[in-house]
Amino acid sequence: MERHYIDQRIQEKLEGLKINPPVESWVHISDALDNMPRRRFLPLFFRVAASLAVLVVAVFSFWFLMPEGTIQDASIATDVPATELVPMVAAEGQAQGATRAGLLQRAVTSPRPDGLLFAESSELPAFAASHSTTRPLDAFAAMLTSSDGPAAHFGLTSDLFEADTERSITGIGDRVSDYFARTRVRAPSNIRFGAHFAPGYNYRLLADNNDFGFQNIPFEALEDRIMTYAVGFSTSFRISPAWSVQTGIGYNNMGQYVRDIMVYSHPAHMPLYQQDLNSSKTYHPQTIITSQGSIRLHDPYHYFADVQSFRVLTNKQSFDETEIRTLKKSAEGITQVFRYMEVPLIFRYHILRRNVGLQIKGGVAGNYLMQNEVFAGRNTMQKSIGETYGVRQLNLSAIGGLSLDIPLTGKLIFHMEPTAQIFLSPVSEQGMMTGRAFPYSYSVRTGLSYGL
C-alpha cells in the first residue's frame, strides 16, 4: 500500500528527532527514583574491603594449607659460605649434645616450612650435627638440590632414623653449595634501598549515601578516572625473618577527569573578561562544581559550558553575550590534578621465598599537597587554568598490595607490586557542597632495591 505523502514527509522530518531535554528533568526523575523502594547494595568501599579480605584469607589459606615442606625460606643462606656451614653446625650441634631422634622429630613434624628453616634458628646446628654422618643429611642435601622441591623428598621421614655413615660431610656440603649457586638464594639483607615508578589509575570514591552530592548532579556519570604516576625512593629494614618495615619519600599524583564540560576560547586568543589590573589575582567569573570541590579558574582566555548538567556557575554580567557566540571550542572536559609529597610507612610480610619472593604489604602514608591544578582537556603537561578550592593540605592514606620480588643478582632485586591506595580523609574540606570524595589509586609499582 502506498503511503500518504503527508505521512511520508512528516516521518522523514520527525523520525529519529533528537531534542535536548531540560536539565531539571533528570533532577525530577532522580528524586522520584530516590523515593522508590529498592534493594540496597553495599557501597563500593565495602565491596573493595570485602575483596581485600577475601584476598588476605586466600593468601593465608595458601600458606597454611600447603603441604609441609613446600616453602623454603631464604634465611637458610647465611653469611657463612655454604661449604663451611655443615661442618660448622655439626660441631656446634655435637657440643650442645642434642639427640638425633628428638631433632629429627621436630624437623619433620614442624608446621613451618621444613628443616630448612632451622638454618637460622639455634636448632639447625644441632639438627645438622646429629645427622652429619648419616643418610638423613644426605636427604637434606638432596632435598635442597632437587628440581622438584623439598616436598618430593619429605617422604624420606621414615628413613631419617636409620644410621648411614657412608656419606661424607664434604660431599653434602658441596651439593648444598651447588644449590645456593644455582638458585641464587641469598641472605636477606637487613637494610635495602630502592626506587620505584608506579603508573596507575586515579579516581575517587564518593562516600555519600547515594552516588550524588550537590543537587543531584550525577558526578559518577560525569567524571572519570585518569592515568597518572607516582615515583619514590625507599628504604626498608628487616625486623624479623618474615617481617620488614619500609619508609621513604615519594611524589604522587591523584586526580580525575571531568567530562561534558566544553571549553571555548576566542578565535584570536583574546581575554574574555575585563581583568582588574590593580589586583594581583583576578578571578574568572565562572566556577565549576566537581565532586572533589569547586574549581576556581584564573585563566581569562576560556569560557566553560556544561552540556549535561549545571555544574558551571556563571556571573553573566562579566561576559559580552555577543562575543560569547563567536567563541570556538578549544577543548573538551577538564582534568583536576593534586600532586602530593608522600612519606609512607609500610609493613611487609614475606609469604614465599623461592626463586622469586612474594610479600604482602600494608601501611599508611602522610600526603602533603604540593600542587593543585586544573587543566583544559586531558593534557596535564600544559598551563594550568585554575585550582580546586578548599583542598586539604595534609592527608593520610592507606596502602595495601602484593609484591613480587625477582632477584637479579645477589643484592639487587626487581619488584613488581600491584598496589591500592586510598585517602582516609576527603580530598576537599567543603563536603557540604559536593559530598565527600576520597581519592584512590590502583597501580603497579615497579622498581629496584639494593640490599646492604
For residue 311, the minimal CB distance to another protein (Å) is 13
For residue 260, the minimal CB distance to another protein (Å) is 9
For residue 32, the minimal CB distance to another protein (Å) is 5
Residues 88, 129: Cα–Cα separation, whole Å: 9
For residue 259, the minimal CB distance to another protein (Å) is 11
Count residues binding another protein (CB under 8 A): 38
Q: Closer to another protein by CB, 18 or 316: give it.
A: 18
**Is residue 1 a contact point for another protein (CB under 8 A)?**
no
Among 211, 299, 332, 373, binds another protein (CB under 8 A): 211
Contact 330, 244 (CB under 8 A): no
Among 2, 4, 278, 281, binds another protein (CB under 8 A): 4
Residues 426, 207: Cα–Cα separation, whole Å: 9
Stretch 18-47: interaction string toward another protein, x if CB under 8 A: xxxxx--xx-xxx-xx--x-xxxx------
- Select from 14-22, 55-63, 230-238, 424-432 the region that touches another protein (CB under 8 A): 14-22
- The percent of the chain in helix, strand and coil, each rounded to the nearest 5, is 30, 35, 30
**Is residue 166 a contact point for another protein (CB under 8 A)?**
no
Q: Closer to another protein by CB, 71 or 222: give it.
A: 222
Q: Closer to another protein by CB, 27 or 433: give it.
A: 27
Backbone φ and ψ for 172, nearest 5 degrees, come out as: -65, -45
**Is residue 402 a contact point for another protein (CB under 8 A)?**
no
Among 1, 2, 7, 148, binds another protein (CB under 8 A): 7
Stretch 110-149: interaction string toward another protein, x if CB under 8 A: ----------------------------------------
Contact 424, 438 (CB under 8 A): yes
DSSP one-letter string for 368-436 = EEEEEEEEESS-TTS---EEETTB-SEEEEEEEEEEEEEESSSSEEEEEEEEEEEESS-SBS-HHHH--
Cα torsion 84, 89, 94, 95: sign: positive
Residues 303, 324: Cα–Cα separation, whole Å: 8
Contact 177, 145 (CB under 8 A): no
Contact 377, 274 (CB under 8 A): no
**Is residue 215 a contact point for another protein (CB under 8 A)?**
no
Rule CB under 8 A: which residues touch another protein? Answer: 4-11, 13-22, 25-26, 28-30, 32-33, 36, 38-41, 210-212, 218-221, 308
